[in-house]
Every structure is written in structure tokens, then in C-alpha cells.
Amino acid sequence: MKLEQRYEGKAKKVYATENPAEYIVEYKDDATAFNGVKKAQIGGKGEINNAITAHLFPLLERAGVPTHFIEKLSEREQRVRAVTIIPVEVIVRNVAAGSFCKRLGIEEGTALSRPVVEYCYKSDALGDPLINTDTAIALGWATNEELSRIRELSLKVRDFLVPFFAARSTRLIDFKLEFGKTLDGTVILADEISPDTCRFWDAETNEKLDKDRFRRDLGGVEDAYAEMLRRVTTPAQG
């Protein structure tokens, strides 16, 4: 049962439960971009992102990535392990896109010869600025050991998801992860993996099937999210 609200983010609300070791997460249809400057509702987004995350997290768990996911409770809700979110967002890039291209003046779609792991400080007020691991350690956001584990788990997520999506006609260009610490201090994957937090390009056409359709006013946002749910829940081709 949901008790008091613990947190409200841009896309989700988190509630306490009778069990101090568990929370309930509720997915909203709200969408924001450019650090909250652009706001809208994307119809069906909450249900789709809940369903995609609820499908992927157990697969990641089996692939050796501990996650906060316990079970899907309803169209918009899931039961998760209670964590304290580490305020370091991890971005893993397989192909250059988005802020990486802007920052470095390179063309979107440029191949990267190895994955790039970036860290940002999770702060709406500051627009999630890019940091390095020294900054996170010096300011007490995470220890060196925790950051090593976060990097290891992030690359494990990549190693699972890249072939998973490739087998479903989709290029995983980049994605953002958040990690949390359980009551006993274990680092586990939290938050979500969805078209809000990943760039997905169609393998044949490079059509964008993610939140960039909203950010860049490309239209067809709802259809793209529904298509990604279909692809995630469809058995691998070939």
C-alpha cells in the first residue's frame, strides 16, 4: 500500500510503503526537456515506460546487474527496493549524439571506437552538469569503490542491451542510468530504462524512436514510444 510521497521527479513519483525496505514508483505522462524549460504530456508514456522498465530490469538482473525492481503492480506502478539515489547520472554512449556532439562539434551518428562513460551531477537547478569521478568523490557523493562498481555495472548494462536491441532492429545510441544504495549500502541499478532515457534509432532507417522526437519537435512521439514497447516485448528476430 502506498503511504506518504517521498519524492516527485519530472517523470515519476516515489511513495513509501509499510515495509521500510520497499517503495512504490508511479510513472507519469509528464515529459520535460531542456532542463524543464519545455513541458508537455505524452499520452500513454507512463504506462509504456513502466512496462519497458518492468520488462528489461529482470533481464538485466539475470545478466548480473542487481536492480531495484521487484514487481509491476499496475499499469503505472511498480514495487521497488528502497534506495538512496546517488546523485551521479551515468551516460553511456555507443554512437555520438546529443550533448556530446554539441560539446565537441562533431556530427551526430559518428562512430565511437569504444563506449564512452560520462558522469553528471543530478541537479535540476544546475541542469545536470558534466563532472568527473574526482568531483563526485571530493564532494562525498560516492566513494571510489562505489564509482568503480557503477562503471562496471553500467558497462554490463550496455553489453546486455546493445545485442538485445540489435536483435530487435534497433540501434542503442546512448542511455542514462541512475544507481542507488540500499539500506545495507549495496549499489544497485535504480530509476528506469525507457525511450525517455535512451536514444533508439531504427537499424534500417536511423529513424529516431525516443524522446528526441519530443525534444526536437519531430512529431510521432506517442507512436515511437508504442513502437519501442512492441520491439522490447517482441522475441528476438533471426
Residues in contact with ligand C5P by the rule CB under 6 A: 91, 97-100, 128, 174-176, 197-199, 211
Q: Minimum distance from CB of 105 to ligand C5P (Å)?
A: 14
Q: Which residue is nearest to ligand C5P (CB)?
A: 98
Q: Minimum distance from CB of 191 to ligand C5P (Å)?
A: 9
Q: Which is nearer to ligand C5P, 184 or 194 (CB)?
A: 194
Q: Which is nearer to ligand C5P, 81 or 199 (CB)?
A: 199
Contacts of 41 (CB under 8 A, 6+ apart): 29, 30, 31
Q: Minimum distance from CB of 229 to ligand C5P (Å)?
A: 17
Q: Count Cβ atoms below 10 Å from residue 37 Cβ, excluding itself.
A: 8
Q: Which is nearer to ligand C5P, 3 or 67 (CB)?
A: 67
Instruction: Give CA–CA dist 182/170, Å, rounded.
Output: 33
Q: Minimum distance from CB of 209 to ligand C5P (Å)?
A: 12
Residue found by looking up cell 559518428 in the block: 110
Contacts of 217 (CB under 8 A, 6+ apart): none
Which residue blocks in 79-143 are alpha helix, DSSP H? 98-104, 133-138
Q: Which is nearer to ligand C5P, 44 or 98 (CB)?
A: 98
Instruction: Give CA–CA dist 70/58, Å, rounded.
Output: 8
